[in-house]
Amino acid sequence: MSRKLKFHIFKYNPLDCEDNPLDCKDKPKLKTYEIEETPGMTIFVALNFIRDKLDHTLQFDFVCRAGICGSCSMVINGIPTLACKTLTASYPDGEITLLPLPIFKLIGDLSIDTANWMKDMSKEIESWIHTNEITDINKIEKPMEPEVADDVFELDRCIECGCCIAACGTKRMRPKFKGAVALNRVARYAVDPRDDRTDEDMFEIIGDDEGVFGCMSLLGCDDTCPKNLPLQTKIAYLRRKMVQV
């Protein structure tokens, strides 16, 4: 038998107050919606039903619906995660509170701007292969040891959903802290033999309190990563490398 679900969803559109912020009547609030649960329902499916049937103004993001784009990340009952991969059946009491991820710029309701944050992060850590070798597309790529290729691929699975940043206590206390997504990216290039940067070069990027030495090992990132990336392991790996520089 189906049951009633009660959603408490954050509602606020900062654009409505952009012209006159001091006299804005719209304030951040939680709005409650009740819907019937269906078999296999995810938070994403529920949100679409609410927007289609109950509130056409509800804002949230999605693209793939398969947990590979990271667009639908939000805080669900206090935990940053993906709406498309979270079943409503996971909440026995049927009470579900949805909030936008903190840290990132709010667009409206549950919609946040992770794209510009990730773009700036990529520039800051120089997220590309550094090499003086000229690529000849007419030649076969240089072979890579399977174990090394597996290591690179494992770290490349990050979908930039922002859950690790939202769950990071260090980031809340140190706004300039680069966070697990950046450190994971640095580790990805550190293990890639095509990148010519040395440990000294990497130290210039992450060898301070805004980088790997600022991490307080609270492990919120490791607990919430929807792709189960080895964030804790790679932060420790980078820290060991950086103390030897």
Do residue 103 and residue 65 come from a single domain? yes
Do residue 97 and residue 124 come from a single domain? no
Identify whether 14 is part of a domain.
yes
- The C-alpha atoms of residue 31 and residue 54 are separated, in whole angstroms, by 11
* Residue 46 contacts residue 5 (beta carbons within 8 Å): yes
Do residue 211 and residue 187 come from a single domain? yes
Do residue 120 and residue 234 come from a single domain? yes
Do residue 98 and residue 122 come from a single domain? no
Q: Across the chain, what does the average pLDDT equal?
A: 94
Contacts of 13 (CB under 8 A, 6+ apart): 26, 59, 108, 109
In 3D space, the residue among 103, 109, 242, 245 whose CA is nearest the CA of residue 181 turns out to be 103
Identify whether 203 is part of a domain.
yes
Cα separation values, 17 from 12, 28, 98, 110, 113, Å = 10, 11, 22, 17, 18
- The C-alpha atoms of residue 47 and residue 54 are separated, in whole angstroms, by 10
Identify whether 216 is part of a domain.
yes
Identify whether 96 is part of a domain.
yes
Is residue 24's pLDDT more than 90? no
pLDDT tens digits along 104-160 = 999 999 999 999 999 999 999 999 999 998 888 898 888 899 999 999 999 999 999
Comparing 50-54, 60-64, 132-136, 182-186, which segment has the lowest mean pLDDT? 132-136
Is residue 165's pLDDT more than 90? yes
pLDDT tens digits along 33-56 = 999 999 999 999 999 999 999 999
pLDDT tens digits along 226-241 = 999 999 999 999 999 9
DSSP code of 131?
A: -
Phi-psi region of 145 (alpha: psi -120 to 50; beta: other; left: phi over 0): beta
Do residue 93 and residue 176 come from a single domain? no
Burial readout 179-189 (b: 16 or more C-beta within 10 A, e: otherwise): bbbbbbbbbbb
CATH classification of the domain holding 238:
1.10.1060.10
User: What pLDDT is stored for residue 82 in this prediction?
Assistant: 98
Do residue 104 and residue 126 come from a single domain? no
Question: Which residues span the domain enclosing 158?
Answer: 115-131+144-243
- The C-alpha atoms of residue 164 and residue 33 are separated, in whole angstroms, by 28
Identify whether 137 is part of a domain.
no
Do residue 232 and residue 206 come from a single domain? yes
pLDDT grade for 27, boundaries at 50, 70 and 90: confident
Cα separation values, 5 from 10, 43, 185, Å = 16, 11, 39
Question: Could you give the number of structural domains in the chain?
Answer: 2
CATH classification of the domain holding 54:
3.10.20.30
Do residue 94 and residue 62 come from a single domain? yes
* Residue 75 contacts residue 85 (beta carbons within 8 Å): no
Is residue 2's pLDDT more than 90? no
Contacts of 242 (CB under 8 A, 6+ apart): 199, 202, 203, 206, 207, 211, 212, 213
Contacts of 130 (CB under 8 A, 6+ apart): 189, 195, 196, 197, 201
Identify whether 215 is part of a domain.
yes
User: What pLDDT is stored for residue 21 in this prediction?
Assistant: 63
In 3D space, the residue among 33, 62, 73 whose CA is nearest the CA of residue 165 turns out to be 73
Do residue 92 and residue 122 come from a single domain? no
Identify whether 212 is part of a domain.
yes
Do residue 125 and residue 237 come from a single domain? yes
In 3D space, the residue among 122, 121, 127 whose CA is nearest the CA of residue 190 turns out to be 127
pLDDT grade for 83, boundaries at 50, 70 and 90: very high
Do residue 164 and residue 186 come from a single domain? yes
Identify whether 150 is part of a domain.
yes
User: What pLDDT is stored for residue 174 in this prediction?
Assistant: 93
Is residue 66's pLDDT more than 80? yes
Contacts of 135 (CB under 8 A, 6+ apart): none
Task: Count Cβ atoms within 10 A of the Cβ of residue 78 and give its class: 0-12 exposed, 13-18 middle, 19 or more buried.
Answer: exposed
Per-residue pLDDT averaged across 204-210, rounded? 96
User: What pLDDT is stored for residue 130 in this prediction?
Assistant: 96
